Structure 1
């Protein structure tokens, strides 16, 4: 398990992280982002939507749920979290530098989701015409290509092909991020979901082993960044309590798997 961020992602410079909504970057990759930033490797975070369809934790901010005020509030939470992680390079998809040349800025809206009987998330029946997964995919793909090209990305990180837990925006993030990686001949690293096996010996036979990064030295930053997301979660000791009441350990290990091209 590596503790040296200079070697992570095979030493690629300016790794681009592609995340669906504000808070995803901190929950799944916060320690890694803090470590890379401290090491001067200038990670770029691209957020695809502003999380307009998200639920809100019960309490003083609950009135924001379902209103036009939620998106700007989540943007502010994202800015605070990135500052805590030391990340200086961020873009929303659809806005320069994450917008294809010659096109006016646009906003890709949260597609929403519904919980399925399997426990995974699935598409919502009432996604808007401006939702990330409803707008023709070529538009968001070209925007992400522009972001990677402008940033001089040396590698791309996003979710696995199931989007981690099935949210349609996460699945879309995987698809366009991997497509851009292939187009630019860049390594594509998928986030190994919490609870997945990260012991490198587990996949030694097939060469598909995840790389586990020990983010203990940056765990404090990750926790403080998580606390910025008061609409979405609560930090309770060494766990996150999500808006739906689900508990998730705040891990000091973040793991990624290098996927083959194509």
Structure 2
């Protein structure tokens, strides 16, 4: 297994762009933990607080009813990042992920619905403060400021379909890739475990650009961080059980495909 310092072509400052709390752990938790342990201080930017997610049935429902899902998910994210060893985090719209001269703002979860094909699609009731409702230039400038201030040397986010179609994920890809192009930085799209990569349609055939990280040494940290996101999922053995009942194995490898 390669040293984490060699991942992403040895670029020491990588910015990860994720849509909601828990996304960072599910798809990139082991990589984040490895980079943090190596002293490379990855930066995580979370675009929303996941206000419109469902809640796992049980005692946490009362907590969420009392304090709101946004508060609960922010606390879960803080705990998860502690498990991963990640210290550099910002919500988009708040310094250091806010364009200079603008007051702090909150980009809200856009929500989604499930299509007949089993993939997510945009919901019809996104509010005016939702990430996908505000003019895209505003979050774009915020993310550009975050990358510039952090001295980012590479950017990681989703493939062009957002992984499973969620509108916030799709916009995260577009924003992150636009920032990478503006700053002439390499961009890596998350590719699951690297075994299949249906999202990066624009990179078909570029198998040499696929980078797969064996995160076995950091698997336990990833599992601990997943358990922190208790309103959204449960850990059952080596599987994640999502709030909607969907199951997926916890990845012991994390794949990334370079698109630019």
TM-score normalized by the length of structure 2: 0.94
Task: Name the structure 1 match of 2:200.
Answer: none
The answer to whether 1:117 aligns with 2:116 is yes
SS at match of 1:58: coil
- Deviation of 1:191 (Å): 0.1
After superposing the two structures, state which structure 1 stretch, 189-198 or 8-17, moved more: 189-198
Q: Distance in 1 between matches of 2:243 and 2:227?
A: 13
Which structure has more helix as a fraction of its residues? 2
SS at match of 2:192: coil
Task: Name the structure 2 match of 1:36.
Answer: 35
Task: Name the structure 2 match of 1:224.
Answer: 224
Q: Distance in 1 between matches of 2:132 and 2:213?
A: 32
Q: Distance in 1 between matches of 2:208 and 2:37?
A: 29
Task: Name the structure 2 match of 1:10.
Answer: 9
Q: Distance in 1 between matches of 2:36 and 2:167?
A: 29
Task: Name the structure 1 match of 2:248.
Answer: 248
**CA deviation string 1:136-190 (max 9, x = no partner):** 0000000000000000000000000000000000000000000000000000000
Structure 2: which 5+ residue stretches go unaligned? 198-202
Task: Name the structure 1 match of 2:257.
Answer: 257
Q: Distance in 2 between matches of 1:100 and 1:129?
A: 20
SS at match of 2:165: coil
Q: Is the 8 A contact 1:53 1:66 kept in 2?
A: no
Q: Distance in 2 between matches of 1:160 and 1:239?
A: 23
Aligned length: 255
SS at match of 1:227: helix
SS at match of 1:160: coil
Q: Distance in 2 between matches of 1:253 and 1:108?
A: 31
The answer to whether 1:25 aligns with 2:38 is no
After superposing the two structures, state which structure 1 stretch, 159-168 or 68-77, moved more: 68-77
Alpha carbons of 1:207 and 1:231: their partners in 2 closer, same or farther (altered >3 Å)?
Answer: closer
After superposing the two structures, state which structure 1 stretch, 60-69 or 163-172, moved more: 60-69
Q: Distance in 1 between matches of 2:3 and 2:249?
A: 23
The answer to whether 1:96 aligns with 2:95 is yes
Q: Is the 8 A contact 1:54 1:65 kept in 2?
A: no
Q: Distance in 2 between matches of 1:98 and 1:158?
A: 16
Structure 1: which 5+ residue stretches go unaligned? none
Task: Name the structure 2 match of 1:60.
Answer: 59
Across the aligned residues of Structure 1 and Structure 2, the Cα RMSD in angstroms comes to: 1.7
Q: Distance in 2 between matches of 1:166 and 1:174?
A: 11
**CA deviation string 1:107-141 (max 9, x = no partner):** 00000000001111000111000000000000000
Alpha carbons of 1:108 and 1:221: their partners in 2 closer, same or farther (altered >3 Å)?
Answer: same
SS at match of 1:7: helix
Alignment of 1:175-194 (within 5 A): 175-193=174-192
SS at match of 2:4: coil
Alpha carbons of 1:67 and 1:175: their partners in 2 closer, same or farther (altered >3 Å)?
Answer: farther
